[in-house]
A and B are shown apart, each in its own frame.
Chain A
Amino acid sequence: MRKTVLEVLGLHRSYGGVRAVDDVSLTLAEGRSLGIVGESGSGKTTTARIIVGLERADSGRVLVHRRDRTERGRGRADRLARAREVQMVFQDPYLSLDPRMPVATVLRETLRLHFPGTDHERRIAELLDQVGLGPREAAALPRQLSGGQRQRVAIARALAVEPAVLVLDEAVAALDVSVQAQILNLLADIRAATGIGYLFITHDLGVVRCVTDEVVVMRRGRIVESGPTAEVLARPRHPYTRLLLDSVPVPGWDPRRIAAARRAL
Chain B
Amino acid sequence: MSSGQLADRMQAGLWRENPGLVQLLGLCPLLAVTSTFVNGLGLGIATLAVLTCSNVLVSATRRWILAEIRVPIYVLIIASLVTCTELIFKAWFPALDRSLGIFIPLIVTNCAIVARAEVFASRNGVVSSLFDGLGMGAGFALLLMAVGFVRELVGKGSIFSEFDKLFGGDPLAGLVVVDGGWLLAVLPPGAFFSLALAVALKNYLDGKRDAVHNT
A binds B: no
Chain A residues close to B by CB (< 8 Å)? none
